């Protein structure tokens, strides 16, 4: 039923928030994808970058990426 779509979206948003409250942010290694949890927030660690990720995984920045 189409009219439930908005309600479902709200439910997913709330669920997402609850899950985030439990797991919090994680630090993932670009090299080996190791997941590090429960570390204190570190301002030196920047948000995930696809450019950095691709450079590690494919050896080059993604096509069209600005460097």
Of 6-14, 22-30, 43-51, 54-62, the segment contacting Zn ion by CB under 5 A is 22-30
Let me know: does 61 contact 55? Beta carbons within 8 Å: yes
Residue 1 lies near Zn ion (rule: CB under 5 A): no
The four Cα atoms 50, 51, 54, 58 give a dihedral, to 10 degrees, of 160
Residue 32 lies near Zn ion (rule: CB under 5 A): yes
Q: How far is the CB of 38 from Zn ion (least distance, A)?
A: 17
Let me know: does 52 contact 38? Beta carbons within 8 Å: no
Residues forming contacts to Zn ion in the complex (CB under 5 A) are 29, 31-32, 34
């Amino acid at each position: 039923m189409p009219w439930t779509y908005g309600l479902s979206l709200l439910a997913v948003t709330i669920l997402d928030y609850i899950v985030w409250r439990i797991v919090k942010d994680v630090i993932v290694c670009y090299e080996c994808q190791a997941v590090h949890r429960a570390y204190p927030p570190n301002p030196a660690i920047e948000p995930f970058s696809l450019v950095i990720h691709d450079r590690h995984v494919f050896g080059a920045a993604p096509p069209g990426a600005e460097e």
